Chains A and B, each alone.
Chain A
């Protein structure tokens, strides 16, 4: 089950090819203590969550990370932002090693590469108004525009950027629908004008129209601001419509990666074929259920 790495990772916008890629990940590995198997008096044994993950993200590029539960995709998102520092491998941001960053540089890194969490409720503070949530990054880093001391106007602009009305800022998160909450999360992530978004399953649990809205928004952001995107999802169809490159994870290891169109057209690995086959297309097909793919 060897990883098939496609050497020609694309996704760069014109003219940027010469400079360092936005994110360069090499041989990333991460283990966590397995508390379920911890003996009484000693330390818990380590369980490997990610093994030998490598990829490159150019400015403005889009990488889809596909994996099912237990694949380690959420851990990858946290490893990239050093929330869970990886034990092995390197992450380079614009050519500099993230591991060597001091506190200030780390905050700067995390503002440039923003993590957007999956809703439900825990991603947004349930007892703060939406406008405070959205303007929090500006207030925290002292970057509020002049004349906007509590960030209300800035929040309004960010909300409109993601297709929500500025009035929604007065509400609390529970008064919003799932799709709206997710867009609030994106608005907050955009506050500090990041270079890249890492979206961890932000469309899961949303119904079809809300999903389409998020995808349309992400595409628009990419077009207008050149925002790079790491889109983590288990939904291959969404990844296909959004991402140029794809990385398929299974139990912490890369199964296939490279140009999305190429991989989906000619999957090399059996697991990829299984995934592709399991996608229920909205086309009536009574034989689909019984069909098994090797």
Chain B
């Protein structure tokens, strides 16, 4: 019986266009990120000043190219670096940041939100005031200040995102936990003498989980964008590493002569965020038993 439901679940998932499209995008990102060393046509850091500002071979006509010149499918930037390779390596950073930052943010925010929502009283008052104060800082500014203080690097970026965004999860999870707690089935569980932690985990959590799926994928999209912003202002990883945000920042300077330098990484970001959101939405629709009517 359980086996049949598993197979049915996969069938349903594959029939949902959101899951398929979003899943493909995420799969593509994963493949690019993991297989970067083998997929990228060239070394992303290799500079070839003679070949700078080559327009993307993808959009150019084949006849123009010299027969034995190296093909730059997405062109080169101001330092002659292969844009395609940089984009592939940029996927790595984007995915790493998205997954780790979103997971940590969700953990911290959900934990505090669930405690605040379930216990209420002083616990809730403390956590809620903390959230209120925290959220009064402009988020992007906070991230920038943080990274300026603790220094740049991948983990600094992740820390900045978590520190700024945990409040988003906390608020939403708190509200949902409160709503669920008021329902009779929670009262029944409490009357059985179940401990609060057990009630939170086994009774309330399944009802908060659908919300979390959506929030986490949204957060992953946010993380990608925040990393890009930090790269843009030069506060992300070391300037050599390829990040989408960094490429946009540099490409901005040459937007008239080499628009592809800015447009391509932007398209990549948009696709990534849209794909993540679609996947999250589709998963929620398929996995949530209540929505299966």
Q: Is there a direct interface between A and B, measured as CB atoms under 8 Å apart in the complex?
A: yes
B189→A136 contact, CB < 8 A: yes
Set of chain B residues within 8 Å of A188, measured between Cβ atoms:
188
Q: A127 contacts B188, CB within 8 Å?
A: no
Chain B residues with CB under 8 Å of A115's CB are 188, 191
Given contacts A110-B191, A136-B192, contact A127 B206 (CB under 8 A): yes
Chain A CB within 8 A of B1 CB: yes
Q: Point out the residues of chain B lying under 8 angstroms from A136, CB to CB.
A: 189, 192
A42 at the interface (CB under 8 A from B): no
Interface flag for B293 (CB, 8 Å)? yes
- Binary flags per residue of A161-174, CB closer than 8 Å to B gives 1, else 0: 00000000010101
Determine how close the nearest CB of chain B comes to the CB of A76; give it in whole angstroms: 15
A125-B206, A127-B206, A172-B290 are known contacts. Are A81 and B191 too (CB-CB below 8 A)?
Answer: yes
CB distance from A280 to the nearest CB of B (A): 30
Asked if A55 is at the interface of the complex by the 8 Å CB criterion, the answer is no
Q: Quick one: closest B residue to A78, CB to CB? A: B187
Flag A88-103 by CB within 8 Å of B: 1 or 0 each: 0000000000000001
Compute how far the CA of A128 lies from the CA of B290 in the bound complex, rounded to whole angstroms: 10
Asked if A140 and B184 sit within 8 Å, CB to CB, the answer is no
The number of chain B residues with a CB under 8 A from chain A is: 20
Q: Which residues of A lie under 8 Å from residue B194 when comparing CB positions?
A: 140
List A contacts of B250 (CB < 8 A).
Answer: none
Q: Are A137 and B192 in contact (CB under 8 A)?
A: yes
The prevalent SS among residues of B at the interface is helix
Docked-complex contact B207 and A126, CB < 8 angstroms: yes
**Chain A 116-131: CB-based contact to B (< 8 A → 1; otherwise 0):** 0110001111111000
Q: Across the interface, which residues of B come within 8 angstroms of A122, CB to CB?
A: 183-185
Check A140 against B193 for contact (C-beta < 8 Å): yes
How many Å lie between the Cα of A122 and that of B292 in the bound state?
A: 18
Chain B residues with CB below 8 A from A106, complex form:
193
Contact with A along B191-209 (1 / 0, CB 8 A): 1111000000001001101
Q: Complex: how many Å from CA A125 to CA B194?
A: 15
Using Cβ atoms and an 8 Å threshold, which residues of chain A touch B209? 127
In the complex, the chain A residue whose C-beta lies closest to that of B290 is A126
Q: Is the CB of A170 within 8 A of B192?
A: no
Q: Give the A interface residue count (CB, 8 A).
A: 27
B8 smallest CB distance to A (angstroms): 13
Contacts of A27 in B (CB 8 A): none
Q: Does B67 contact A (CB under 8 A)?
A: no
Q: Give the residue name and chain of the A residue nearest to B206 (CB).
A: A127
In the complex, the answer to whether A123 meets B192 with C-beta atoms within 8 Å is no
Asked whether, in the complex, the Cβ of A140 is within 8 Å of the Cβ of B185, the reply is no
CA distance A125 to B181 in the complex (A): 11
**Residue pair A107, B206 in contact (C-beta under 8 Å):** no
For A137, list chain B residues within 8 Å (CB).
Answer: 192
Query: Is B289 an interface residue when CB atoms closer than 8 A count as contact?
Result: yes
Report B-chain residues with C-beta under 8 Å of the C-beta of A175.
Answer: 293
Select A117's contact among B187, B203, B290, beta carbons within 8 Å: B187
**Are A128 and B192 in contact (CB-based, < 8 A)?**
no
B188 touches A107 (CB 8 A): no
Docked complex Cα distance between A107 and B185 (Å): 16
Query: In the assembly, what is the distance between CA of A111 and CA of B203, in Å?
Result: 19
Question: In the complex, what distance in Å separates the CA atom of A124 from the CA atom of B188?
Answer: 9
B206 touching A123, Cβ below 8 Å: no
When distances are taken between beta carbons in the complex, the residues of chain B under 8 Å from A81 are 191
A16 CB within 8 Å of chain B: no
Near A by CB (< 8 A), chain B positions 2-28 give none
Smallest CB separation, B150 vs chain A (Å) = 40
A175 to B293 Cα, complex, angstroms: 7
Q: Which residues of A contact B293 (CB under 8 A)?
A: 174-175
Say if the beta carbon of A46 comes within 8 Å of chain B. Answer: no
Query: Which residues of A does B touch, CB under 8 Å?
Result: 81, 83, 103, 106-107, 110-111, 115, 117-118, 122-128, 133, 136-137, 140-141, 170, 172, 174-175, 188
Q: A107-B192, A125-B203, A140-B189 are in contact. List 10 more A-B contacts (CB 8 A).
A: A83-B187, A103-B193, A110-B192, A110-B193, A125-B185, A128-B203, A128-B206, A141-B193, A174-B289, A174-B293
Interchain Cβ contacts under 8 Å between A and B, 14 examples: A107-B192, A107-B193, A117-B187, A122-B183, A122-B184, A125-B203, A125-B206, A125-B207, A126-B207, A126-B289, A136-B192, A140-B189, A170-B1, A172-B292
